[in-house]
């Protein structure tokens, strides 16, 4: 590897990136867009679920129960209707997710101490929201039950006593249970995967398409010089975008950063090497910009999105899919990024992930250097 040739390639590549509006837009706009879209748009927090009620009794007790629903931040009692069919209509039309029916003998039953059934109808098209709604409903009812029991005991002169067992839940790492805290460190991995492999996949393919590669190959430049020279600018861009995303996450979305910067930077460098080599390898093999960019997206963006644990937790996946995720480099970086941001995990506990990333980086870099021979075929 000769320094003067390497420098020439880097310089040329930087000029070309600077003059290419599409690349510049992608470099600056894409991280911003993804951060904002995921930071604001994608929220897995389920709150203010719209509720319709059909209170068949209309007693003080039934209203008291409904107040419990209204008081909870998870529910928003939109309307009280006067018939069962109106309730069905509201569910059909999507005006509410949950419909609650209070029986006409609600207070009567309560007095006799028998169990009272309150019906909840749920729109389960979104099964996740429905599931969560059931849980929240049960919690609301539970609180109400306790209150009723307490009152009953007091009325009968019994000493009041707290329930035997209660859960004292402390949420660690993401104290307020905000999904942005979980998402933002993940978006960094997505941005790196796209910028790193998409942009680089175009660079070699473009030279093949425009015929400049043939000219380049007729000069004394070596394949390694071409590769390193072309990747250095994108490496710097990748680091810039990583910093940009981390900055937005920390200062705009107030995601805590509890770990060590050195661990984060080191793992970012490894992950960048992985995606850059992958993009380079793809572009050497496909030799066309269109095929290269599409392959790069499918090979990096999709797995980083679906199989890295970004949205779907890996330990909830079927065993076969879990096995597949082991071959997705983004999975390891996703774990590291989240752990370093939220948990402040020390480097020793991330050893396996870092080793996996290092292995991927080594194999893919080797693959990329091997793929590009200075021969036409």
Partner 1 sequence: MSNEVPSISVRDLVKRFGDFVAVDRISFEARPGEVIGFLGPNGAGKSTAIRMLCGLLRPTEGQALVAGIDVAREPEQVRQRIGYMSQKFSLYNDLRVIENIQFFAALYRIPASQLRERVSWVLEMAGLTGRESALTGTLPTGWKQRLALGCAVLHRPSILFLDEPTSGVDPVSRRQFWELIHQMAAEGVTVLVSTHYMDEAEYCHRLILMFHGRIVASGSPLELKQREMSGDVVLVECDDLGLALDLLQKNPSVKDAAVFGNALHLMVSEVAADLAPLRTYLSTGGVLVTKIEPISPTLEDVFVSLTANQGQSGKE
Residues binding partner 1 (CB under 8 A)? 2, 4-5, 7-8, 11-12, 15-16, 19-20, 210-212, 214-222, 374-376
Nearer to partner 1, 27 or 190 (CB): 27
Measured CA to CA in angstroms, residue 156 lies from 26, 152, 153, 299 at distances of 72, 6, 5, 69
CB of 295: closest distance to partner 1 in angstroms?
A: 24
Cβ proximity to partner 1, 156 vs 375, nearer residue: 375
Q: Can you tell me whether residue 78 is helix, strand or coil?
A: strand
Beta-carbon neighbour count of residue 335 at 10 Å?
23
Residue whose token pair is 């009968």: 156
Nearest alpha-carbon partner for 266 in 357, 360, 335 = 357
To partner 1, the closest distance from the beta carbon of 284 in angstroms equals: 16
Q: How far is the CB of 13 from partner 1 (least distance, A)?
A: 10
Give alpha helix (H) positions in the chain: 3-19, 21-36, 60-71, 84-93, 106-112, 127-155, 179-194, 200-210, 212-217, 223-247, 261-286, 289-296, 302-306, 319-325, 329-338, 351-371
Q: Which residues on adjacent β-strands are paired with residue 75?
A: 49
Q: Which is nearer to partner 1, 157 or 211 (CB)?
A: 211
Residue nearer to partner 1 on the CB measure, 93 or 376: 376
From the number of C-beta atoms within 10 Å of its C-beta (0-12, 13-18, 19+), residue 163 rates as exposed
Nearer CB in complex with partner 1: 151/214: 214
Q: Is residue 20 helix, strand or coil?
A: coil
For partner 1, the closer of residues 123 and 225 by Cβ is 225
> How far apart are CB 22 and partner 1 at their closest, in Å?
12
**How far are the Cα atoms of 77, 165, 310 from residue 121, in angstroms, in the given order?**
14, 30, 32
Q: Closer to partner 1 at the Cβ: 12 or 287?
A: 12
Report, in Å, the least distance between residue 365 CB and partner 1: 22
Q: How far is the CB of 179 from partner 1 (least distance, A)?
A: 43
Least Å distance, CB 16 to partner 1, is 6
Check if the beta carbon of residue 280 is closer than 8 Å to that of residue 227.
yes
Rounded CA-CA distance 214/217 in Å is 5
Our CB check for partner 1 shows the closer of 4 and 156 to be 4
Q: How many CB atoms lie within 10 A of CB 216?
A: 15
Distance of closest approach, residue 199 Cβ to partner 1, in angstroms: 15
């Amino acid at each position: 590897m000769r320094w003067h040739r390497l420098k020439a390639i880097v310089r040329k590549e930087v000029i070309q990136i600077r003059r290419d509006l599409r690349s510049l837009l992608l470099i600056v706009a894409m991280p911003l867009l993804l951060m904002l879209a995921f930071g604001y748009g994608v929220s897995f927090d389920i709150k203010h679920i719209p509720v319709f009620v059909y209170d068949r009794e209309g007693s003080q007790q039934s209203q008291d129960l409904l107040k419990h629903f209204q008081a909870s931040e998870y529910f928003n009692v939109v309307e009280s209707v006067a018939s069962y069919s109106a309730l069905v209509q509201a569910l059909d039309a999507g005006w509410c997710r949950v419909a609650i029916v209070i029986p006409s003998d609600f207070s009567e039953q309560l007095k006799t101490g028998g169990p009272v059934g309150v019906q909840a109808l749920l729109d389960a098209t979104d099964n996740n929201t429905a599931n969560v709604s059931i849980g929240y409903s049960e919690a609301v009812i539970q609180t109400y039950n306790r209150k009723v029991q307490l009152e009953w005991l007091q009325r009968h002169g019994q000493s009041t006593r707290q329930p035997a067992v209660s859960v004292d839940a402390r949420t660690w790492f993401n104290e307020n249970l905000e999904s942005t805290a979980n998402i933002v460190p993940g978006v960094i991995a997505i941005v790196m995967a796209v910028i790193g492999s998409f942009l680089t996949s175009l660079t070699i393919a473009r030279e093949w398409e425009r015929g400049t590669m043939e000219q380049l190959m007729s000069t004394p430049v070596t394949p390694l010089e071409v590769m390193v020279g072309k990747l250095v600018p994108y490496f710097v861009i990748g680091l810039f975008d990583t910093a940009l995303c981390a900055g937005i996450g920390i200062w705009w979305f107030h995601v805590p950063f509890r770990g060590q910067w050195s661990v984060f930077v080191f793992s970012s460098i490894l992950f960048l090497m992985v995606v850059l080599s992958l993009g380079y390898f793809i572009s050497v093999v496909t030799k066309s910009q269109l095929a290269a960019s599409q392959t790069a997206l499918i090979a990096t963006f999709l797995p980083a999105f679906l199989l890295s644990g970004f949205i779907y937790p890996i330990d909830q996946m079927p065993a076969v899919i879990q096995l597949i995720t082991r071959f997705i480099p983004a999975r390891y970086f996703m774990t590291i990024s989240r752990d370093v941001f939220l948990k402040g995990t020390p480097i020793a506990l991330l050893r396996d992930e870092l080793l996996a990333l290092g292995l991927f980086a080594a194999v893919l870099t080797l693959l990329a250097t091997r793929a590009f021979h200075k021969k036409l075929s």
